[in-house]
């Protein structure tokens, strides 16, 4: 075992530190294998590892020996599991050490750059400096910023194999390795950290790597939420902070207005194309899960700021608008809860944050119920905008009363998070196959038009006749589906649009913004979706997005879009969406259809 005293943090080379971390983790794993499985499994694993090295060095006999060992292993399931677990865990630990090495190298580069009074390459600051040096004016840069929008989108492809509990253990060990790198630990502190690493290795060894059942859609959703909870929520304000610092440094005479240019999207829980498990209930559950996640993150942030905003009436003044807001909040507080607030009667910001915390908790509690069972709660936030308004009232009052540094500090991070993540956390894209829309539209229109023409068949109409009929329905005031009493597939297809409308009401309009139609082959496919949206009260409220996938569809796409853009009702839809059209290009299907180069 590598002792704590041998862990010198005074290593000149970060490569040496990487080797040291791998050696430490390997030794701790070796001890764990012997302790948990016995010396025989450890010796077998070491033998296979040594033979593998020899084979890579060109020893053919080593390969034959590995094959012979493998043949024997298949006869003993328990021994096979032990060896596989040993190698799986070893590679996970090596990956941790390498990730820590990457972080260390980036830190060293940043330290060197800052020591030399220059931005590190490939950073926001470097980009802003380049713009400044190339003659981009502040006004031109502001125009670029105003038009900037970035939305990384989470998908479940491929499905993350690691369980969430395994990911948390690996993250914990990464933090321990970072602590060992700090360079200011006493020997006893190092020894304690090594013990904590070994403890975590033991729990990792005793934990199943994979789930005992096939992951559900909501399992995949929660897997994606892990990254928001453990990385993105805290990282995003840092991105904005670095951007603001760079603008201040390279354009000191201009005060920039930075909008919300970064948001996140997700397909998990919304992509129903070819996945019968993504039902209406699953999509609602996804949206509620995302809302609960971000509300919990806000309550944690408010708790951390509660003691920070301890400005007292005896030392500071407070804006009139803030004080009026506080009085309105007090009107909603039950008498039994006034005692806690009375304790901080001289610290209005702390009182406000207590009330904000309670409103978040009330909103969280309300969100635990399905949407059709939720009842109004005056103490819950009706929208993320209300939450942001409370925060900005505090921020502006602090700023107006000699607290500009405080207003631009930790509290600004929470305001930024609230504006970016809202109550939706990530915008959920909905995707469905064009055939589902076509079949559902045929079933619905059959009910109305067969009364006039017994031979009516929507599916048999030409593309021109379909478009003409859909235009007529889009400009009609008559509801298309006053009740849902069609077949199950049709009800589900129509129901998702009603669910989107409900999501806009219960979460926010940012909850769902795009409806994607896979295998789009005609303009009528888009008009069908637009008609479903209009029938649900969503006309102009969501983007109708074609997904062109085959080579033929990609070639026809320009003509399809030109045709759509000439249709008056579609022009009106685009006007309400800011005259912007989102188009998706499918690479995987075009690759299968036409080959790598052509795709």
- Catalytically active residues are 157, 592
Nearest to 528 by CA among 454, 448, 469, 483: 469
CA 68 to mean position of chain CA atoms: 46
Sheet holding 153-154, edge to edge: 153-154, 265-266, 427-428
Look up residue 160 and give its DSSP letter: P
User: Partners of 548 in the beta sheet?
Assistant: 585
Percent helix / strand / coil, the chain, rounded to 5: 65, 5, 30
| 52/65 Cα distance (integer angstroms) | 10
Strands 430-433 and 427-428: unpaired
Per-residue HEC secondary structure of 228-269 comes to HHHHHHHHHHHHHHHHHHHHHHHCCCCCCCCCCCECCEECCC
Query: Is 275 within 8 Å of 291 (Cβ atoms)?
Result: no
| 24/32 Cα distance (integer angstroms) | 12
Token look-up 């052509």 returns 598
Contacts 24+ apart (CB under 8 A), 403-407: 403/311, 403/316, 406/308, 406/309
| 333/570 Cα distance (integer angstroms) | 49
Question: Which of helix, strand or coil describes residue 517?
Answer: strand
Task: Count other C-beta atoms under 10 Å from residue 263's C-beta.
Answer: 21
| 83/96 Cα distance (integer angstroms) | 20
Look up residue 377 and give its DSSP letter: -
| 9/6 Cα distance (integer angstroms) | 9
User: In sequence order, what are the residues at sequence separation of 6 or more whose Cβ sits closer than 8 angstroms to the Cβ of residue 169?
Assistant: 200, 203, 204, 207
């Amino acid at each position: 075992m590598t002792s704590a005293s041998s862990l010198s943090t005074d290593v000149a080379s970060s490569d040496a530190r990487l080797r040291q971390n791998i050696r430490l983790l390997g030794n701790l794993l070796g001890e764990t294998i012997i302790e948990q499985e016995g010396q025989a499994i450890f010796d077998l694993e070491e033998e296979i590892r040594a033979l593998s090295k020899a084979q890579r060095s060109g020893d053919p006999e080593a390969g034959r020996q590995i094959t012979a060992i493998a043949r024997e292993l298949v006869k003993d399931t328990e021994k096979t599991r032990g060896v596989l677990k040993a190698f799986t865990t070893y590679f996970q630990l090596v990956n941790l050490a390498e990730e820590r090495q990457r972080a260390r190298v980036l830190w060293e580069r940043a330290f060197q750059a800052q020591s030399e009074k220059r931005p590190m390459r490939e950073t926001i600051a470097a980009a802003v400096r380049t713009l400044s040096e190339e003659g981009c004016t502040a006004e031109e840069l502001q125009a670029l910023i105003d038009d900037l929008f970035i939305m990384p989108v989470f998908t479940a492809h491929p499905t993350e194999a690691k369980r969430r509990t395994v990911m948390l253990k690996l993250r914990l060990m990464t933090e321990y390795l970072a602590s060992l790198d700090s360079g200011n630990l006493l020997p006893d502190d190092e020894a304690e950290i090594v013990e904590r690493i070994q403890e975590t290795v033991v729990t990792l060894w005793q934990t199943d790597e994979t789930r005992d059942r096939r992951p559900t859609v909501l399992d995949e959703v929660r897997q994606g939420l892990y990254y928001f909870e453990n990385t993105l929520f805290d990282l995003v304000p840092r991105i904005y902070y670095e951007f603001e610092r760079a603008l201040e440094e390279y354009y000191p005479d201009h005060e920039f207005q930075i909008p919300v240019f970064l948001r996140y999207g997700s397909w998990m829980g919304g992509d129903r194309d070819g996945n019968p498990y993504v039902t209406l209930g699953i999509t609602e559950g996804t949206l509620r899960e995302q809302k609960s996640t971000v509300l919990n993150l806000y309550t944690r942030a408010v708790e951390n700021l509660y003691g920070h905003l301890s400005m007292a009436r005896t030392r500071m003044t407070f804006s009139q608008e803030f004080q009026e807001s506080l009085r309105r909040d007090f009107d909603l507080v039950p008498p039994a809860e006034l005692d806690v607030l009375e304790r901080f009667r001289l610290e209005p910001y702390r009182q406000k944050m207590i009330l904000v915390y309670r409103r978040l908790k009330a909103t969280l509690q309300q969100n635990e119920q399905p949407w059709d069972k939720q009842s109004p709660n005056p103490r819950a936030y009706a929208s993320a905008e209300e939450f942001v308004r409370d925060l900005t009232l505090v921020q502006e009052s602090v700023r107006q009363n000699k607290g500009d540094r405080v207003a631009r500090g930790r509290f600004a991070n929470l305001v930024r998070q609230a504006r970016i993540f809202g109550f939706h956390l990530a915008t959920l894209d909905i995707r469905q196959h064009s055939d589902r829309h076509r079949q559902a539209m045929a079933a619905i229109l059959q009910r109305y038009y067969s009364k006039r023409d017994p031979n009516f068949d929507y599916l048999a109409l030409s593309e021109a006749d379909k478009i003409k009929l859909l235009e007529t329905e889009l400009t009609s005031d008559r509801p298309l589906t006053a009740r849902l009493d069609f077949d199950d597939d049709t009800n589900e297809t129509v129901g998702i649009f009603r669910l989107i409308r409900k999501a806009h009401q219960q979460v926010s309009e940012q909850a769902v913004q795009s409806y994607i139609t896979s295998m789009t082959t005609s303009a009528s496919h888009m008009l069908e979706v637009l008609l479903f949206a209009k029938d649900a009260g969503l006309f102009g409220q969501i983007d109708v997005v074609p997904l062109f996938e085959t080579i033929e569809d990609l070639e026809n796409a320009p003509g399809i879009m030109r045709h759509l853009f000439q249709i008056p009702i579609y022009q009106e839809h685009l006007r309400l969406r800011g005259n912007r059209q989102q188009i998706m290009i499918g690479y995987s299907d075009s690759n299968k259809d036409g080959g790598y180069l052509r795709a």
